[in-house]
Chain A
Amino acid sequence: MSAPRNGTTTAPARPGTFAAILRVYPYAKVAMPRVYLGMVSALVAGLVALLIPQVLARLVDGPLQDGDSSRIWGPVAIVLGLGVLEAAMIWLRRWFVLQPGTHIEARMRNGLYAQLQDLPVTFHDRWPSGQLLSRAMSDLNIIRRWISFGLVLLVVHLLMIVVGFAFLISINWMLGLLFVVCSVPLWIYGYVFEQKYSIVSRRSQDQSGDLATAVEESVHGIRVLKAFGRGKYALKNFASQAEDLRGTEIEKARAIAGIWLWLLLVPDVTFALCLLGGVWLAADGQLSVGELVAFFATATVLRFPVESIGYLLSMTFDARTAADRFFEVMDEENTITDPADPKTIASPRGRLVFEGAHFRYPDSPATHTDLLDGIDLELEPGETMALVGLTGSGKSTLTALTTRLYDVTAGAVILDGVDIRDLTRFDLRRHIAMAFEDATLFSASVRDNVLLGRPEGTDEDLAEALDIAQAAFVHQLPNGVDTMVGEEGMSLSGGQRQRLALARAVAAKPDVLVLDDPLSALDVDTEALVEAALRRVLASTTALIVAHRPSTVMLADRVALLENGRVTAVGRHSELLRTNDHYRFVISSLEDDDPPADVAEVPDDIPDDITDARRGVTS
């Protein structure tokens, strides 16, 4: 299933509305008894409302006709009693459906969230975040309202209409039949309406999702928009999306207006015809005045259910759309799952091996070779390996393979003799901790952020990790390590965030540390301090460190050079610097006083090399 990026989805062979909504059943199952009880109460309330006209007919044809005021009290008491009963039943209905709606909604929301957390990164790469948010919020709200209101009333009102028709026919079969026949166009129109409405309903919900995405990006990218003074420009894009949504909503209103027209017109015409026929029949003596009164009173009671059908139908179709959108995410196959029969590593030592590991992104064109085209690399326990390569050569991708953020498309990654796909993800990620290129902090205290990978960690663990990452600045924060950081907390500079992210990886005390360009935002002094401290940790921990700078490379025992999707050289820094041209090209700095001859000529004879390496492919 593809991400509905532009709010366009072509659903081949759309299942019926009923089948689509029925899929919500598993979430609703435990709550259904209450829903049924709610329906029963509503039905009783409806029937009670229909009984009142019957009492009226008896009253009109009896005491009122005779002018016997003493016999009026009885029927009036019955009407009052029925009235109280109706109110009680409505109260019961509300009480019964109170829980199911909100509970089903909550269950579905938690389910969606769990699924989203479980789905692989490739899924998140592909799906605009606003689309996920709109599913989690507005779609589930729609479903809640439908369950606790729409569903119950739809069923009950349809039943009431049937029973009401029966009452009408029993009062006078000719008039009743007239009423039934006249309602036929409504059913036909209801069907046409479904066809029209479902399409716009879907489009509108997709477009709201896109709009949410636009809002999110405009806030997350606020610095860029401000830096270039593009607030108005962003508004233009946003406004045009909002205009699209407005168009769809108006189209939706048109569809609703269409069904409204019929739902009002048909009963009115029917009423007029019945008035004509009824009075005629009464004049003819075939119908008593009381029956005439009962007929119209009953028909009036039925008006609300009939009129509400339009609203309830559109609600139902909206709910169906919402269910479709919900299940699009729930149906998404998780390609990175735990094995059925997970292995464990008895005594972890931290030996990490890439064996002919291949990887390509799902959207990479068939003409391109794999981004990682057979990686063979062995990290011995305790060894620190630097990974060097040009921008775009696939270093970050390679690091993501170690914790199964992506799975290899061929070959294997092996930790202490076990294919990492044979471990549970939880277990694997306990063994391997990462620091990402962009340091993400969560809205939580410094402590919780750093101890994220080791929630049971002590104050000593925290202090040690902060010390290694040279993150002493946290003690100057208003509440020290209890200061809230992340989006909802203090703003930190890039270098500060990066050090906390590094501290987090270190604090997890993993068997293997994977650090993606961990020092890029640090100044030379701090970098040197961090490096010195890291050395202590790295002495005993296996580590894979993506590096752009010679200084970082120096941390490593060996360096692996990533080139055209393969590790083309592994060795010590000084050794590679001497023997490998590409390595020298990648790592050696502009200001080198004494550049090797071939590097000096870079701009002329290396471009092909750069091109290929940036592309991360071999042609």
Chain B
Amino acid sequence: MSVLGVEGEERNDFSPEESRQIRQRSIRLLGSLLSPTRARLILTMCVVVISTAAQVAGPALIAIGIDRGLPAIVDEGNGTPLALVVVAYLLTGVIGAVLIAWYTVLAARISQGILIDLRKRVFLHTQKLSLEFHESYTSGRIIARQTSDLDAIRELLDSGINQLVQGLLYMVFIGIALFSLDWVSGLVLMVFLVPLGVLTRWFQVRSQRVFRETRVASARLIVHFVETMTGIRAVKAFRKEKRNAADFAGYVEGYRDSNSRVIALFGTFDPVLVLIGNVALGVVLLVGGLRVADGGLQIGVLLATLLYTRQFFAPAQEMAMFYNSYQSAAAALEKISGVLEEQPSVPDPTRPIDLWNAKGRVRFDGVEFAYRSDRVILPRFDLDIPAGQVIALVGSTGAGKSTLAKLMSRFYDPSSGAVSLDGLDLRMLHPKDLRRAVVMVTQEAYLFSGTVSENIALGKPEATRDEIVAAARAVGAHDFITSLPGGYDTDVNKRGGRVSAGQRQLISFARAFLADPVVLILDEATASLDIPSERLVQEGLTTLLADRTAVIIAHRLSTVAIADRVLVMEHGTIVEDGTPADLIAGTGRFSQLHAAWRDSLV
């Protein structure tokens, strides 16, 4: 089984080889995230090294104060050594504190820099991924990646680096200080590194699984949550609340339990760590005490070794916490790197061809298409649409009209054959040129939260207000827009809930109008409009389509009036092709459809 990309995202039974693969891709991602901040990272390290050294100096200075400063005063009445020690202590204290404060800000800059980098990468990458990916991955999972997974990484970066670096340094510095003060105690402490290592390893092995579970559980929760909130009307209307609540409670429980397992694991780790530390303290005390009693060790040094021993294990705890956030972040990074590893099935060309002034001739050459390899939707066909031709594409639901439109706008690539614009394969075109030349408007007129004018301007971000208004006028949307509370600046709310379905379609029409493409594809874009509005749109279309190539898919055959050519599709095949007049006059499928439609009018 493959672990490439997002496949195996919900699995937790990886073979060593697979685990290695996953770990490597996470590490690669981490490396690429860290490398731009290298300079700052080095600076931060320096700050941490100095500040930790300053902090570690404390107990040693106290020892010196007691062992040297005290006798100097008692025996010689000389206060200078003590004064020097105190000043040194103050100095290290101030330096340590200031550096740590500085470090906090530095680290935040680094971590925020990395986060924003990662956020943007995931965002852009998900935008690049093809519809095929989105249709199976679900929006909820992407949201989970961008929210709770990124939170986990943020936690690691925020406190983790601090915990790790400081913890490690602390241990090293304390080790050095201890050895230089009293090598016997140093050795004693080293012995305790063994149980510490065993414990850490145990934790590492156990926690990885549990953290993976948490990521999966939280993603499930988010997917369900988003789906409920998105479909809240249907939830209410069909009394799904109770059933939803039961399902949700199940996911909540799953998430709760996996979190509990994490905490329980740490709840064993932490006290065992303290235990090791305290036993070490006792042993150091014993070994040191015996020598003090012999006169082989000074009391101040004993105190310092004790303080150091205690501090030695405090960062071990910090490091355990680091490890905690590290595991959590690593699990998150695994999922994110999986998404980033996904290759768009409709990839951007590596060496794109520029197409500045497209004429609008579209050709399908030996095109065949299947969404899933087991079921061909469009059997092999050819189609030539000369520049400037307006085509009405008709056929029953499920015939494959939308599929053809999606191939033409390169939402999908054909399984074999090629779709070309002005003789250039769509796969070779620069995405920017392609999108400028070919625009598709669908029945689901999605509006983004934001104002009406922002939504229209999506067709042409640099458009002036006048252009936006002109586009709205052209499709007959101006009147209703001006009657909204804030006119063009009315917020349409999420998904455009503030305006009616037909109004949404008008706005998305205006959007396409403003984009001004040479090839325009309308996939049932007027389905929710009332007849007068549709009429206005069609009037707009007659001007709009004057010198454009267009494919209009509509069940209301009124569109046929503005078409130069009609294509009739059945079961993925174009069964009729001709001018509207010819086809209506004939006896084929279209003339039947047309007759049925005429009958349905009054």
Contacts and interface: CB of A to CB of B under 8 A. Distances in A.
A220 B602 contact: no
B188 interface: no
A260 B96 CA distance: 11
Contacts of A184: none
Contact of B446 (A90, A221, A433): A221
A216 B434 contact: no
B16 interface: no
B581 to A, nearest CB: 14
A322 B533 CA distance: 47
Nearest to B148: A137
B256 A105 contact: yes
A235 B82 contact: no
A228 B396 contact: no
B418 interface: no
A234 interface: yes
B225 interface: yes
Contacts of B353: none
A497 to B, nearest CB: 10
Interface stretch (B32-40, B270-278, B357-365): B270-278
A66 B104 CA distance: 48
Interface in A224-273: 224-235, 238-239, 242-243, 246, 249-250, 252-254, 256-258, 260-261, 264-265, 268-269, 271-273
Interface stretch (A18-26, A173-181, A389-397, A535-543): A389-397
Contact of B70 (A148, A279, A442): A279
Contacts of A607: 479
A440 B234 contact: yes
A291 B314 CA distance: 24
B388 interface: no
B86 A438 contact: no
Interface string A118-139: 1001001110111011101110
A106 interface: yes
Interface string A578-619: 000000011111111000000000110011001100110100
B448 A586 contact: no
Given A226-B411, A283-B70, A219 B89 contact: no
Contacts of B240: 442, 452
A218 interface: yes
Interface string B521-563: 0001001111111110011000000000000000111100100
Contact of B139 (A219, A226, A304): A219
Interface stretch (A79-87, A185-193, A377-385, A564-572): A79-87
A257 B236 contact: no
Nearest to A254: B105
A267 B479 CA distance: 70
A499 B397 CA distance: 10
Given A235-B124, A254-B105, A265-B97, A611 B483 contact: yes
A523 B397 contact: yes
B21 interface: no
A532 interface: no
A194 B500 CA distance: 46
A430 B289 contact: no
Interface string B128-145: 100100111011101100
A525 interface: yes
Listed residue (B113, B223, B306) with the most chain A CB atoms within 10 angstroms of its CB: B306
Interface stretch (B193-201, B243-251, B378-386): B243-251
A228 B89 contact: no
Interface in B80-101: 82-83, 85-86, 89-90, 92-94, 96-98, 100-101
B79 to A, nearest CB: 8
B285 A76 contact: yes
Contact of B314 (A304, A365, A528, A550): A304
A233 B506 contact: no
Nearest to A552: B600
Given A442-B227, A452-B238, A524 B533 contact: no
A69 B293 contact: yes
Interface in A69-109: 69, 72-73, 75-77, 79-80, 82-84, 86-88, 90-91, 94-95, 98-99, 101-103, 105-106, 109
A102 B256 CA distance: 6
Contacts of B85: 275
A222 interface: yes
Nearest to B145: A215
B181 interface: no
Nearest to A213: B449
Interface stretch (A8-16, A411-419, A483-491): A483-491
A429 B444 contact: no
A220 B139 contact: yes
B600 A443 contact: no
Nearest to B286: A76
Interface residues of B, number: 186
Nearest to B410: A226
A224 B446 contact: yes
B231 to A, nearest CB: 4
Contact of A116 (B229, B314, B431): B229
A526 B232 contact: no
Contact of B561 (A137, A218, A590): A590
B528 A520 contact: yes
Contact of B232 (A124, A239, A429): A124
B263 A436 contact: no
B107 interface: yes
Interface string B388-411: 000000111110001000000101
A421 interface: no
A231 B151 contact: no
A549 B528 CA distance: 10
Interface in B498-522: 498-503, 506, 508, 511, 515
A67 B294 contact: yes
B270 A121 contact: no
Given A125-B497, A212-B147, A257-B105, A440 B127 contact: no
Contacts of B289: 59, 63-64, 69, 72, 75-76
B96 A246 contact: no
B225 A391 contact: no
A549 B578 CA distance: 27
A72 B290 CA distance: 7
B127 A220 contact: no
Contact of A215 (B123, B270, B303): B123
Contacts of B140: 487
Contacts of B253: 106
Interface string B214-245: 00001001110111111111111111110111
B461 interface: yes
A159 interface: no
A64 B127 CA distance: 72
A400 B92 CA distance: 70
B124 A276 contact: no
A582 to B, nearest CB: 10
Nearest to A60: B299
A279 B70 CA distance: 6
A20 B349 CA distance: 55
A212 B86 contact: no
A527 to B, nearest CB: 7
Interface stretch (A27-35, A163-171, A292-300, A340-348): A292-300
Given A297-B303, A443-B227, A102 B259 contact: yes
Contacts of B100: 260-261, 264
> Closest 10 interchain pairs by CB?
A229-B435, A83-B278, A268-B93, A391-B502, A253-B108, A94-B267, A495-B397, A231-B127, A551-B600, A91-B271
24 contacts: A56-B285, A80-B282, A114-B241, A121-B233, A124-B232, A211-B146, A232-B124, A235-B120, A249-B112, A250-B109, A276-B82, A279-B69, A279-B70, A280-B82, A282-B70, A389-B530, A403-B237, A429-B237, A442-B234, A521-B397, A551-B601, A586-B531, A587-B531, A591-B601
Given A438-B501, A524-B555, 5 more contacts: A114-B245, A260-B97, A265-B98, A280-B73, A494-B443
